[in-house]
Amino acid sequence: MKLRHAMVCASNQNRSMEAHALLQRQGLDVSSYGTGSHVKLPGPSAREPNVYSFGTPYRTMLEDLIKKDPELYKRNGLLQMLKRNLGVKEAPQRWQDNAADGAFDVVFTFEERVFDMVIDDLGNRETNLLKLALIINMDVKDNHEEAAIGGKLALDFCLRLEQADAWEDEIDAIISRFEKHHRRRLIYTIRFY
């Protein structure tokens, strides 16, 4: 595979990690990130989320939730999600802290607010490489079912890009075919590293 892909959601837990796992299994060069100030997982109520710092290992989060209420977190799918994440990488990473990871060809986000944050962050970075990057968004609800669908769609889109001779010249046609086939709206922009 020829492109470097970044999957980005708010907390680097559900949507970006589902897509990361699928792309990784297909042999694509992929990383994943979150854009929030910290990692939030649902808690016993909407007012009581479980909050962690980026870089906290998924194993630590898993052990913490098992101690707090194993039945609740098994029932709502968080334990299974964290086990999946453990098989992909050690800990959630923050997009704004990833400059040392190098440039990406494709940055795929799963909500417009995250898309905007990625664009703002890239706008604040020095553009030394003058390397093109496609920043694309497909809105996906942050639940396990929608993340599974969104991950498959992200994989399909990234495979379409991988098959293009020059995605920069074909991007409008690739997006048009994808939107028509899947009936999902994408927004995108091109930025430089």
pLDDT in tens, 77-102: 999 999 999 999 999 999 999 988 98
Q: State residue 1's pLDDT score.
A: 62
Q: State residue 72's pLDDT score.
A: 97
Q: State residue 14's pLDDT score.
A: 97
Q: What is the pLDDT along the chain (193 residues), one digit of tens a residue?
A: 699 999 999 999 999 999 999 999 999 999 999 999 999 999 999 899 999 999 999 999 999 999 999 999 999 999 999 999 999 999 999 999 998 898 999 999 999 999 999 999 999 988 777 889 999 999 999 999 999 999 999 999 999 999 999 999 999 999 999 999 999 999 999 998 8
What is each CA distance from 58 to 84, 104, 134, in whole angstroms? 9, 24, 29
Sorted by where each starts, the structural domains of the chain and their CATH numbers stand as: 5-36+94-192 (3.40.50.2300), 39-87 (no CATH)
